[in-house]
Amino acid sequence: MPDFVRQSLIDLADLQTVRRLVEWEGLYAGLQESRVRELVMAVNEIATNALIHGSPPATLRIWKVDGDVVCEVSDAGSGIEDPMAGRRRPDTTRPGGRGLWIARMLCDGVEIGSTEEGTIVRLQMSASNSVTPPGEGWLARAVRGG
């Protein structure tokens, strides 16, 4: 059972508030500041995707369970059709198409699901894994293509 749950409807005008809420909850949950920044960036990317590509309403939920911070962004859209979305390195010659990939590089876990109500993207960051060993951070993974 989650230790706490925060829920908020979001729109494009709220993205700064979304970032501050994720930052506060990440710090409160015990994430290292660098991991909080990564989580904030990942949630911002996914929330922006939900608001631009999905259908309203878009909702953010945040909770902590078993030492992990979980952020879930949902919208009423029809879903993400490409099963490989965010798993391949984006084409750098084209704009966009980086949000899910960035989230996968930054977070310990990313799950995407669709229901009759819409699309859900769940991001997970482990508080117990707050210190990333040298050469294993998101940038190193991105350079290696992982």
pLDDT digits (tens, 9 = 90+) for 25-78: 999 889 999 999 999 999 999 999 999 999 999 999 999 988 789 999 999 988
Question: Which domains does the chain show, CATH number per domain?
Answer: 5-144 (3.30.565.10)
| pLDDT exceeds 90 at position 133 | no
- 143 has a pLDDT exceeding 60: no
Q: Which of 7-11, 35-39, 86-90 is least confident? A: 86-90
Higher pLDDT, 136 or 64: 64
For residue 91, is pLDDT > 90? no
pTM: 0.81
| 20: enclosing H helix or E strand | helix 15-29
The residue ranking higher by pLDDT, 91 or 64, is 64
Report the C-alpha gap between 106 and 42 in whole angstroms.
7
Q: How many other CB atoms are found less than 10 A from the CB of residue 66? A: 11
Band (pLDDT 50/70/90 cuts) for residue 88 is: low
Average pLDDT of the chain is 82
Measure the CA–CA gap between 90 and 69, rounded to whole angstroms: 27
